[in-house]
Amino acid sequence: MFDQKTYINRRHRLKQQLGSGIVLFPGHDESPINFADNTYPFRQDSSFLYFFGHNLPGLTGVLDIDKNDDYLFGNDAGIDEMVWTGYQHPVSELAQMVGIKKTGSLAELESFMKTAFSSRKDFSPARNSPSCNKFSPARELSSCNNFSPARELSSGNTIHFLPPYRAQTHLKLLRWSAFSSIAILPSTELVKAVIAQRQIKTDQEIIQIEQAINITVDMHIDAMQMAKPGIKERHVIAALYSKAHDAGVSMSFTPIATTQGETLHNHFYGNTLEPGDLFLLDSGVENAMHYAADLSSTFPVNGTFTSMQKDIYSITLDAHEAAIAAIKPGVAFKDVHFKACGAIVSGLKNLGLMKADLDDAVLSGAHALFFPCGTGHMMGLDVHDMEDLGETYVGYDGEAKSTQFGLKSLRLGKVLKPGFVLTIEPGIYFIPALIEKWRTEKKFADFINYAALDSYLAFGGIRNEEDYLITETGARLLGKPKPKTIADIENLKK
Amino acid sequence: MFDQKTYINRRHRLKQQLGSGIVLFPGHDESPINFADNTYPFRQDSSFLYFFGHNLPGLTGVLDIDKNDDYLFGNDAGIDEMVWTGYQHPVSELAQMVGIKKTGSLAELESFMKTAFSSRKDFSPARNSPSCNKFSPARELSSCNNFSPARELSSGNTIHFLPPYRAQTHLKLLRWSAFSSIAILPSTELVKAVIAQRQIKTDQEIIQIEQAINITVDMHIDAMQMAKPGIKERHVIAALYSKAHDAGVSMSFTPIATTQGETLHNHFYGNTLEPGDLFLLDSGVENAMHYAADLSSTFPVNGTFTSMQKDIYSITLDAHEAAIAAIKPGVAFKDVHFKACGAIVSGLKNLGLMKADLDDAVLSGAHALFFPCGTGHMMGLDVHDMEDLGETYVGYDGEAKSTQFGLKSLRLGKVLKPGFVLTIEPGIYFIPALIEKWRTEKKFADFINYAALDSYLAFGGIRNEEDYLITETGARLLGKPKPKTIADIENLKK
C-alpha cells in the first residue's frame, strides 16, 4: 500500500471536485465459484483500491462531503472466523492505515445507507427507469456503462456511486435504496471526477506499473525460448503461471497463448505447436499493488519466420512504430489509430491484398477485415483502465464513439495528456469466417483483393504490444524493452 | 461430456420425482473481476452440469414437467462475437448433445419466465418474506441455504428453483418474477430430488473422480519431494498449478499450502520453509468433466519428523484409521466423527494434554480445542458436494445440526448409503489464539491440561485426507494411495 497521505489526498481532491453529497464505494465481496464458500481469488474494485487501499472483502467506503467525514465500514472477525482464516486486522486499524477515523459495522452501514437514501429529496420508488438500469443478466450489465449524463441527482443530498458491474454490488444498491435504486442512475459527475484523477498516473504509480511490466517481459522471453514443435499451448501457460506464482503476483487478465492468433481473445490452450506455426502471446501480470501490465508478442514456433510471415510481421511493426511516433500530449488517439491503420493498408497494398486509395480505405473501414480492433487502451489499476466507468468518458471525453465495424472496438479516442499510460497494439489477423462473410457480401470489393487472400486463410494473426507513458513532450516506453524486431526474435530462439 | 442418454435419464428421474411444475436451472454467466469483460475462469453451476452438461456461460435449462418439455435457452454468437472468441456451437447443437429438442433465445427465456411467474396461483408481490430471502450481501447468501421447508409453492404451477448463491442468479430471479421473487422460496422439494440423485455416484462418475484424485496424488508427491528449507510456500504452489495447467485441469478449490497448518483455511503463501517445519498441503484438482478431488498431506520440510511431531502425527493417523474402519452403509457419519474424536482424545490423554473420561470429553466438545472442524464431507461435482443446496438435507437428511463449537462445522452427519463419496480428514491443530481464549475462560478445565500446552503453542497443525466410496458392504479408497504413514513419508524424502 501507499502511505496514508496518498489516500487522504486522493479523497480530498475527489470531495473538492464534487463539492457536495454522499459518495459510496461498495467494495467487493468474495465471488463464489460453485458454492458460497468456494470462491475465486479475491480482487477488490479498482476505484475502491485507489481511494481506500485495501484488497480485502466485505468493506465499503463512504464520503460525506457536506460533513467532511470519511467512513470505512466492515465487520471485525471473531475467534470462530480466525480459526479458519488466521489473524485479521480490525476495521479500525484498516481505516487508520488509509487515514480514516470513522468506522462502523456492516449493520451500521445498512442503517446509514437506508437513512441516506430515504432522505434524498428526489427519492422516488417509481419502477420506470432508463433501460440500462433495469435488471439485466450480469453479462448485459456492461452495456449499461455508457450511460448518458441525463437525470443527474439534485445536489445537496445527492448519493454518488459508480456504475455497478458485479451483480453483488447491484444487489447492495437495491437493498440500501429499499429496492428503488432501479430509479437511480450512477453519478456521471462522480465518473468524471474519478477519471480526472485516475487517468493521470503519478511517479509512484509508474514505479508499480513498470514493476508489473518487467516481470511480464521476462515471461514473454521465457515463452519465446520454450516454444517448440511438439509441446502444447498449455505447457507455455503452465510456465507463465508458475513464474507468476514464484514472483507472488497474479495475472491482470486471462492470458492468450495460442497458435490461432486470428481469434482475438482465444482462451483455448489445447493445440500442439507445429513447425511453421506462429505463436501469439498476449499476457500481463498485476503486481502486489494491483497495477497491471499488458504485452503481446508473436513469434515462430521453430525459431525462424517464413518469408510470408516476415512480410506480414513487418507491416504490423510499421503500424506499431507509426503509432509510437505519433503519441504525444495534444494528439487525439483516434488519429494515432488512423496512422496505424494507414500503415497496415499501405503494407497490404504492397502485398497486393488491398487496392485503391489509402485514405479512402481507412475512412471506409475496409482495413477492419484485417484489423477489426483498436490500436490501444488506457492501462493502470485495470488492464483496460477504468473500463467499468464506461468508454464515453474514459475513452472519448463525452463524445459519441463510432459504430463502424473495427472503429467501434477502439477503446480510446480522446486527446492525450501527460500522465496517461496506454498500450500500443496494432495487429493483422486473417479470420476465415469474416473473410468468407465479406467476400460473399462483396463488401469493400473496391478495396480488398479477395482473390489474393486464399493463400492467407490459414495464416493466423500477429500482434505486438507495448505499454507507454505520455510525457510532457512525447512518450516513453515503460519497463525494459522486449524482443520486437524479426532479428531480435530469431536471435533469441537460436 | 457423458452421452445424451445420461442427461436424458437424469432429467427424466427428476421430473418423475417432482411430478409437476416448472423447474428452472439458471446456468452461470461470466463472473467479472474488475470490469465486465475481465472475467474469472468460467465454472458452471454443478446442478446445471449434472442435468444439462455444458460448461458454457449464458445458458438456462427449463423443465416443464406438465407438458414434458425440456428447454435450453441461450443466444447464438454472431460473427462480431466470433471474431473475438472463435467458433461457437449454436444453442440448437448444444441442446442436441444433451438430448434436448426445444431451444430459445434469452429474450424468449425472458418472456417465458415472466409468463410462468405471473401465472402462478400463489404469486404475490408482497415484500414481506422470510429473512433469508431478503437481499443480503453475497457473503451472507450462504446462510440462506439452510432454508426451512415452510411456504412450499402450490403444485400445478409451482416454479422450482435451487437456492441461489451467485448474486447474478438472484438478480435473474428478481427480474423474471418482476421483482417479486423476494416473496418466493427456493423449492425444498427440488433440493431433495436433486440430492437424491447427485449423492449416489454412478460407475461412470467414479471413473471421473478417480482421474481427478490420481492427478492430485501426483501433485502431493511432487510437493513432498520438492519441499526443503529455504524455498517459499509459493514455490510449491507454483509447481502445483504448473502440473494442473500441464494436465489441462483446474483446481477444485484454492489450495492450502502452508507451514502454519493450524489455520484451517490458510491462503497465504509467503512463508519461507524452515528446518523443523511441518508443511500442510490441502489441495485437489477438478478433472475435465468437473469432478473434484480433495486430499491433504502433512510432512516435515527437511525429511524427518521430530519426536514431538511423530507423537501428534500418529494420533491423527489413529483417528484417520478409526474413521475408515467405521464407514459403511447404515452407519451415521456423525458416529464416525465421534470415533475419530475419541481416538484424538485418547491419544492426547496419553500425551498428558487431555485428562478425565474419554466419552465425556467427546460429548462435551472439549476435543474441539484441537479438532474444531469435521471428519469429512461429501465430494463430487463440488469439492464440498452440493454445499449450495444447504447442509440440512445434503448433510443431515432434514435433521437440525448441532450448534456446539466443533460439531457445528461437521458438514456431514447422516446415515451413509452405497454410492456416497466422502472425504476422511481428522486433524490436530494447536491454535494459539483459541488456546489462549479458552485458558483465560478456564473452559473445559476438567478435560484439558492447559499447563502442558505451552510447549505446543508453535507446533502448527496436522491433517491427512483421503477420499472414499461407500460400497454395498463397506468402503473403498478412491484413486491410488498416497504416502500416509511416517515411514512412507520419510522414505519418499530420502
State the pLDDT at residue B362.
83
Establish if A78 touches chain B: CB-CB under 8 angstroms. Answer: no
Contact B34 A41 (CB under 8 A): no
Establish if A114 touches chain B: CB-CB under 8 angstroms. Answer: no
Q: Are B307 and B276 in contact (CB under 8 A)?
A: no
Best residue of A34, A264, A404 to probe chain B, by most B CBs closer than 10 Å? A34
Three-class SS of residue B39? Answer: strand
Contact A40 B40 (CB under 8 A): yes
Establish if B350 touches chain A: CB-CB under 8 angstroms. Answer: no
Q: Please report residues of A whose CB lies closer than 8 A to that of B138.
A: 29-32, 36, 168, 171
State the pLDDT at residue B126.
33
Q: H/E/C letters for each residue in B177-218?
A: CCCCHHHCCCCHHHHHHHHHHHCCCCHHHHHHHHHHHHHHHH
Establish if A235 touches chain B: CB-CB under 8 angstroms. Answer: yes
pLDDT at A436 over 50: yes
Query: First vs last Cα of chain B: how many Å apart?
Result: 42
| Domains of chain A with CATH codes | 4-198 (3.40.350.10), 203-492 (3.90.230.10)
Bridge partners of residue B102, in order along the sequence: B71
Contact A34 B388 (CB under 8 A): yes
Distance from CA of A43 to the nearest CA of B (A): 6
Q: Grid coordinates in use for B94?
A: 448444444
Q: Please report residues of B whose CB lies closer than 8 A to that of A136.
A: 175
pLDDT at A471 over 80: yes
Contact B265 A84 (CB under 8 A): yes
Contact A34 B263 (CB under 8 A): no
Dump pLDDT digits (tens) for A6-53.
999 999 999 999 999 999 999 999 999 999 999 999 999 999 999 999
Nearest to A447 by CA among A347, A364, A337: A364
Cβ neighbors of A365 (< 8 A, separation 6 or more) are A404, A405, A406, A407, A444
State the pLDDT at residue A144.
34
pLDDT at A83 over 60: yes
> How confident is the model over A356-368, as a mean pLDDT?
86
Taking the model in full, what pTM does it have?
Answer: 0.92
Q: Specify the higher pLDDT residue, A86 or B443.
A: B443
For chain B, residues with pLDDT lower than 50 are: 122-156, 181-183
Segments in B401-442 forming alpha helices (H): 432-441
> How confident is the model over A153-162, as a mean pLDDT?
67
**408-437 in chain B: CB under 8 A from chain A:** 431, 433-434, 437
What DSSP assignment string belongs to B440-480? Answer: HHTTTTTTB-GGGGGGGTT--EEE-BEEEEE-SSSEEE-SS
Least-confidence region, from A129-133, A224-228, B192-196, B355-359: A129-133
Q: What is the dihedral of CA A304, A308, A313, A314, to 10 degrees?
A: 110
Q: Which residue of A has its CA nearest to B179?
A: A179
Establish if A292 touches chain B: CB-CB under 8 angstroms. Answer: no
Q: Please report residues of B whose CB lies closer than 8 A to that of A439.
A: none
Instruction: Give me the residue label for grid cell 499451448.
Output: A233
Q: Please report residues of A whose CB lies closer than 8 A to that of B270.
A: 248
Strands A159-160 and A22-26: parallel
Q: Which residue of B has its CA nearest to A32?
A: B166
Q: Grid coordinates in use for A80?
A: 470462530
E strands within A59-196?
Answer: 60-64, 69-73, 102-104, 159-160
Establish if A452 touches chain B: CB-CB under 8 angstroms. Answer: no
For residue B406, what is the DSSP state?
Answer: T
Amino acid at position B446, single letter: D
Distance from CA of A431 to the nearest CA of B (A): 7
Q: Which residue of A has its CA nearest to B83?
A: A263
Distance from CA of A473 to the nearest CA of B (A): 32
State the pLDDT at residue A258.
96
Cβ neighbors of A34 (< 8 A, separation 6 or more) are B43, B45, B46, B381, B382, B388
State the pLDDT at residue B361.
79
Distance from CA of B161 to the nearest CA of A (A): 15
Query: How many Å is the Cα radius of gyration of chain A?
Result: 24
Q: Which residue of B has its CA nearest to A386?
A: B35
Least-confidence region, from A20-29, A161-170, A174-183, A391-400: A174-183
Q: Are B378 and B395 in contact (CB under 8 A)?
A: yes
Query: First vs last Cα of chain A: how many Å apart?
Result: 42
Q: Please report residues of A whose CB lies closer than 8 A to that of B235.
A: 245-246
Q: Which residue of A has its CA nearest to B49?
A: A34
Amino acid at position B281, single letter: L
Nearest to B70 by CA among B46, B45, B93, B96: B96
Dump pLDDT digits (tens) for A254-269.
999 999 999 988 888 9
Cβ neighbors of B168 (< 8 A, separation 6 or more) are A137, A138, A167, B28, B29, B31
Three-class SS of residue B330? Answer: coil
Query: What percentage of chain A carries pLDDT values higher than 70?
Result: 91
> How confident is the model over A326-349, as a mean pLDDT?
97
Contact B245 A234 (CB under 8 A): yes
Q: Half-sphere exposure (CA, 13 Å, Cβ side) for A337?
A: 30
**Max intra-chain CA distance, chain B:** 74
State the pLDDT at residue A145.
32
State the pLDDT at residue A267.
84
Dump pLDDT digits (tens) for A51-79.
999 999 999 999 999 999 999 999 999 98
Bridge partners of residue A62, in order along the sequence: A24, A71
Q: Write the ipTM.
A: 0.92
Q: Grid coordinates in use for B71?
A: 428447454
Q: Are A160 and A362 in contact (CB under 8 A)?
A: no
Cβ neighbors of A477 (< 8 A, separation 6 or more) are A466, A467, A468
State the pLDDT at residue A117.
79
CA B27, B33, B36, B42 dihedral sign is negative
Establish if A166 touches chain B: CB-CB under 8 angstroms. Answer: yes
| Minimum-distance CB partner of A138 among B83, B168, B270 | B168
Distance from CA of B344 to the nearest CA of A (A): 19
Distance from CA of B440 to the nearest CA of A (A): 14
Query: How many Å is the Cα radius of gyration of chain B?
Result: 24
Q: Which residues of A403-423 are buried (b: 16+ CB within 10 A; e: fewer)?
A: eebbbbbbbbbbebebbbbbb
Question: How far, in Å, CA of A366 to CA of A443, rounded?
Answer: 8
Other CB atoms within 10 A of residue A398 CB: 11
State the pLDDT at residue B179.
65
State the pLDDT at residue A141.
32
Question: How far, in Å, CA of B464 to CA of B489, rounded?
Answer: 12
Establish if B171 touches chain A: CB-CB under 8 angstroms. Answer: yes
Contact B263 A35 (CB under 8 A): no
Establish if B183 touches chain A: CB-CB under 8 angstroms. Answer: no
Q: Are A157 and A212 in contact (CB under 8 A)?
A: no
pLDDT at A357 over 60: yes
Contact B142 A36 (CB under 8 A): yes
> How confident is the model over A431-445, as a mean pLDDT?
95
Cβ neighbors of A480 (< 8 A, separation 6 or more) are A213, A214, A217
